[in-house]
Each structure stands twice: as C-alpha cells, then as structure tokens.
Amino acid sequence: MSTDNPLLGNAQLPAFSKIRASDVGPAIDAILNDYQAGVDALLASDAPRDFEHVMLESERLDQRLARAWAPVSHLHAVADTAELRAAHDAALEKITDFESALGQNRELFAAVQAVAEAPGFGARARSERAAVEHALRDFRLSGVALEEPARSRFREIASELARQTTAFANAVLDAGEAWHEHIEDERDLAGIPESGRAVLREYARERELSGWLVTLKQPSVQAVLTYADDRGLRERVYWAYQTRASDQGPDAGRFDNSARMEKILALRFDAARLLGFANAAEESLATKMAGTADEVLAFLRDLAARAKPVAQRELEELREFARTRLGLQTLEAWDIAYASEKLRRARYDLDEERLKAYFPLPAVLNGLFAVAGKLYGITVEPARERIDVWHSDVRYCEVRDAGGQVIAGVYLDLYARTGKRGGAWMDVCRARFRDGGRTQFPVAFLTCNFAPPAGGHPSLLTHDDVQTLFHEFGHGLHHLLTRIELPSIGGIDGVEWDAVEMPSQFMENFCWNRQVLDLFAKHWSSGERLPGELFEAMLAARHFQAGMFLVRQLEFALFDFLLHLEYDPTHGARVMETLEAVRREVAVLHPPAWQRFPHAFTHVFAGGYAAGYYSYLWAEVLSADAFAAFEEQAGEGGDVVDPATGARFRDEVLGVGASRPALESFMAFRGRAPQPDALLRSYGLEV
C-alpha cells in the first residue's frame, strides 16, 4: 500500500484535494487493523487497568479512525460521485462491523469497569468520570451483555441498518437530482423575483442550457412555491419534491424508499428488544433528557392543544384571503407558500424580496462572527494561509482567543450545487483532544444550501436563511469552544440528543435584535442600513402563521416518535397510516393522498433523530429560556450581546460538553430549572 495515502496522515487538517475514492478502502483497512492491534495491546494481561492506559488509549485509537473517516463521510455528503459512494459504502460496512464487535468486547468492557471501580475514581475530574460512565452505558447499548445467538444477531442488525440508512439518503439525493424542468419563455416565470430567476438561470448554465432550469434544489423549490404565479408550475414542483424517493411522482418506484423504511423500523425494533427495551422509542430515551415516552408525548400534546386552535384560525384567514384576493376557490398544498407570502405582504407591507437585499451573505457572516466575538471573546476570520478545500466556494476560518492564539477552525460550504445533499448541518471534522504534549484543536464543517451569487450580486439571504446560518454556527460554537479534551464527551459529542439543539436555537434569537442587525443588515449595493419600517414590519410579522408552523413541527415530532413507539412486527411499519393518524390529531393542513413526505425524511431514516425529532421543540424550551437571561440583563434598551452573560453561557454550557448532564449545565447558567414560558412567548402564544 502506498505510504502517501492522504487519509493516513496526522495533519491538523485533511488534504481534501488529494483524497481519491481509491484511497478510502486501503486507509480504513489499515486503520482498523491498527485499531484492533491497539485494543489487543490494551487488554494484554500485564497492561494497567487505569484511566490513562484504558480510556486515553481508547480515545487515541478512536481519533485516528475519526481523522480518516470524517473527511470521507463529509465528501460523500457534499461532493458525491459514483466512485466515492461505492468506496464510502464499503468502508462504512467495515467500520460498522468493527464498532459493533468493539461494543460487545467483554474484556474491554471489564477493563473500563475496572477503571470505574479503582480506588480514588470518585476523586477524578468530572469529565474523566463522565467519559467512563458514558463508555459503560454505550457498551450496554451495544449488546455487551447479550449471549449467542442474540449477540451475533445484534451485530448483523447494526451492519444492515448502516446499509439501509445510507441507501435511504442516497435515494433522496438521486431522486432530487433526477428531476428538472427546462424553461425558455420567461413569461412562465412570472412572479418570481429577479434574484430567484438568476438562480434558475445559473442552474441552466451549469448544464449548458439556455433560459432557466427549475430543479429540486432548495433555492429553486423555494422560489417557485413562494412566488411563481403559474399555478401549474407550482403544482409540478410540489409534486416532484414531495414525492421524492417514493412510489409516487415523476420517478415513481425508481428510487422508492418504501421498503427501506419498513426494514429500518423493523431492525430498530429488533435491536431494542434484544437490549431489553419494549421498542426503539424507549431505547432512544436512554441517551436523552426526557425520562419516559409518556413525558415526551405529554409535552408534545400539550403544545398541540395550545397551538392547533391558533393554527386553525390562521388557515381560515389564509383561505379567505386566497379566495377573495387571489381568486383561489380551493387552497391546495402548492398554494400555501404562495398565498402566505401574498398575505404577509398585504398585512405587514413586508416584501421578502426587498428584505433580502439587506442580507448579503458576506455581511451576514461578518455580523455573525462579530456577535460570537463579543459574546465569547473570540475572533473568527479567514485563515492567513491557503487551506486545502473540496470546492472553490468553500472557505476556511480560524477561531482565535483574546490573545490571538488559534483555538479552532471551521469550514464554510454555503451554496447549493449538484452532488451535494440538501439542508443545513454542522458536523465534526476534528475534535478537541489533548494527547500528551500535543493538543488537536476542534474543527467543524458548516454546510448550508443557499442560493449562490448570481446576476452580478452576492448571495442574498432571506431572514429565514439568516436564522439558519446562526443556528448552524450555534452548533459549531458548541463544538469549537469546548474546554473538554476528551473527544467522546467534548463539544456536541455525548450531549443528550434532546438538548444538543439548545446552543443552535439560542443563536437564532439574536437575528431579531435591532442592535445585532445593525452589524450586518445593509443593502448589498448602497450600504444603506435596514430601514426602520422594514425592521418594524419584520417584528410585526414574526409570529405570522406561528401556529401553523408549530403544528407542522409537532406533526413531524409525533409521527417520528409514535412510529418507533408503536411499531408492531405483526402489522409492520404502517408509515402512512401513522402519519395520517397524527395529522388527524394535530394538523390543520392535509396534503394530497399522493404526498410522500416520509420517504425523504432523512433526519429520522438516515440521520440521528430516530425517535428524537421532538428534540427540536424540547431543546427550544431551554434555548428560549437561556436567551431570556440575556434579555433580562439588557433590560429596556440595553444590549443583549452582553459579554459577561456570554462568558457565563460559554463556561456553563458551551465549554463543558457532556462532562455533566445538560440539565445541570442549564441550571448552572440560569440558576434554576427551565421554564416553558419563554418558548410560548417566542411563538406568540399566550402563557
């Protein structure tokens, strides 16, 4: 094997331009072989059973694998090719099998247990005790106590789940790439503003076509469904987008995820039962703040009871407006965004297209970094030397402390393009890890799918886009500002899944503050600050259709949780039946029978949110209450970007990772248990 394989180096940052699909298999094989040899040495009869030799060596072995796998996994998501996909999938299967066997290694479990039982363990640092406790819990959740044949069956399930979830995500990506509509008569784009047309023109240019190309990339879908006067075009885009990877739509059956969903849910159920849980939902709660399924359901249904009447009134208002002002006698699913935008503009005189001109991406980024800098005493700026990246649009920034020392880094990949998964996310490139005299500083991937620069102007964001960017950078700050030097419990790793959204949702609140907006909300060409009347219109419209938005989130959360809670192998997954039952309970909007939203629900079927999508709302209680501390400090007319409060938030929440339970971290910052009032106020609902 070549010694210059870029995945086998120990550099601080990956050499993305040098990574080839052919490097993946040899690198992973070599690393897994070394990993196994390291475990064997760790378990030798004469090897010490103390924290340094067991836990630190385990972290060291795991980090070598992570340093190679993180860039491969990321490239698979943002620069997919057939060759890379094949190499990724083959390597993933090997890694999954290896980690399943590792999780069931009773000798290693006993070694960790010995660390926990050693004299003086209780006097060790809180982070070290937490790392051991998390490791023991994860062993149990990996089936370390199982006997044959359950032991082997559990490993088979893990391997098959990895294959199925990867195939699910691939199908969604492929289905989205497969559909497009070429438009050559600009009259067919009536209603779509110039910024939206420029994006569609750019999509056509990429394929060497004249005119415009409507695709299923998010900027295209948003432009058409929100603005296109052509109702037929809106319907076709909605139909194609909402039937991706299903048995319906323009590619019916070609990328169908139906069987994969059935298989994924069956495998999760079987794994949970093998571990002694009643179902996959109960198993998921073993690593969350919520204690029981009843607690989750009560939380969601209480919100639904408050939100549904509001949502129903909002929908009736929209229907009446659509009938009397837009001539739409029936309000179809593909009319909702279009009619809502017309109503918002009529009611609040808020022109989203005019507003976008004040949110050029470069300025928003600078403002975001300025907020983070003032809150946490850091600077975020482009790297001073050239950094190897995977696409010319990607930027790398260094995070420096108050003394100018580099403490972290972040890759920014912000534009939609072919071969890149939709959505927005933050992921780990490198974790903070102190190994002897060397410290590996944390590095994050921050990925969005905004409209690229077009028509001679920079990328212009909607206010929703601005909140998305702040949200994902909130995740990034959680990772980048950790002070925990054990990767398994540092940053976002190990944090309860229903609390991990707290720092990200917390950051969104700053997007509504005038002082913060004045840092970056300036017209892209004139430099004019966001006019007062536009800001007031934004505030007035903040809770526009908040009830409809909230019940939609509740629909997603209840559907996901009940799907895993009520799974019965006798009747199978019952995906669409469960969704319909949830809609009858909480929804006010009922889409066409052919809509297949679950088939592209990657959060649940290909991500980490299985039986945990409720986490967004659960964590929003924490984030809204945390931001209220900044508002209380600011008082009337004060500055919510308060360095002292920010320092406490960094010390008590961002910096401690999973070294203690999330509830303890929240209470250390807030001085009390979380209260739901701030969440309800953030949606404009009565407390």
pLDDT at residue 456 above 90? no
* Domain membership flag for residue 251: no
Tell me whether residue 445 is in a domain.
Answer: yes
pLDDT tens digits for 513-537?
999 999 999 999 999 999 999 999 9
Q: Are residues 438 and 496 in the same domain?
A: yes
Percent of the chain scoring above 90 in pLDDT: 92
Which candidate, 221, 232, 184, 174, places its Cα nearest to that of 199? 221
Cα–Cα distance, 623 to 625 (Å, whole number): 5
| CATH number of domain containing 426 | 1.10.1370.40
- Residue ranges of alpha helices (H) inside 242-292 are 258-274, 280-284
**Which residue, 613, 630, 661, sits at the end of a domain?**
613
Tell me whether residue 369 is in a domain. Answer: yes
The token duo for 528 is 């004019």
Q: Which residue has the tokens 């260094």?
A: 398
Q: For residue 146, tell me if it sits in a domain.
A: no
Q: Is residue 632 part of a domain?
A: no
Residues 48-67, mean pLDDT to the nearest whole number: 96
Do the strands 443-450 and 406-415 form a parallel or antiparallel pair, or are they unpaired?
Answer: parallel
Residue 533 lies in a domain: yes
CA distance 316 to 308: 12
> How many domains does the chain contain in total?
4
81 and 99 share a domain?
Answer: yes
Structure confidence by residue, pLDDT tens digits, 27-49 = 999 999 999 999 999 999 999 99
DSSP state, residue 659: S
Domain check: are 517 and 590 in the same one? Answer: no
pLDDT of residue 678: 75
Asked if residue 625 is part of any domain, the answer here is no
pLDDT of 686 above 70: no
Q: Are residues 516 and 372 in the same domain?
A: yes
Residue 370 has pLDDT above 80, yes or no: yes
Contact 131, 62 (CB under 8 A): no
End-of-domain residue from the set 508, 538, 568: 538
Helix, coil or strand: residue 457: strand
| E strand segments, 362-424 | 379-382, 395-400, 406-415
**Across 357-365, average pLDDT:** 97
Are the CB atoms for 338 and 227 separated by under 8 Å?
Answer: yes
CATH number of the domain residue 273 falls in? 1.10.1370.10
In a domain, 311, yes or no: yes
What does the DSSP 8-state code read for residue 55?
A: I
Determine the Cα angle at 103 with ends 101 and 106, to 5°. Answer: 90
* Pair 384, 494 in one domain: yes
Hunting for tokens 């909130």 — which residue is that? 474
CA distance 559 to 188: 37
204-213, 247-256, 503-512, 673-682, range with the lowest pLDDT: 673-682
Domain that holds residue 551: 258-348+545-613
Given a contact cutoff of 8 angstroms between Cβ atoms, the answer to whether 424 and 448 are in contact is yes
Q: How far is CA 360 from CA 200, 451, 522, in A?
A: 18, 11, 8
User: What pLDDT score does 1 carry?
Assistant: 44
For all residues of the chain together, what is the average pLDDT?
Answer: 95
Same domain, 186 and 311: no
Looking at mean pLDDT, say which of 13-22, 351-360, 430-439 comes out highest.
13-22
Q: DSSP string of 554-604?
A: HHHHHHHHHHHHS-BTTTB--HHHHHHHHHHHH-S----TT--GGGG-HHH
Say whether both 588 and 488 belong to one domain: no
Which pair of tokens denotes residue 673?
Answer: 């248990």
CATH classification of the domain holding 93: 1.20.1050.40
Same structural domain, 382 and 487: yes
Residues 552 and 515 in one domain: no
The answer on 491 and 441 residing in a single domain is yes
Of 495, 512, 538, the last residue of a domain is: 538
Instruction: List active site positions.
Output: 472
Query: Who wins on pLDDT, 557 or 10?
Result: 557
**76 within 8 A of 84, measured Cβ to Cβ:** yes
Whether residues 295 and 230 share a domain: the answer is no
Shared domain for 380 and 526, answered yes or no, is yes
Report pLDDT digits (tens) over 541-559.
999 999 999 999 999 999 9
Which 8-state DSSP code applies to residue 335? Answer: G
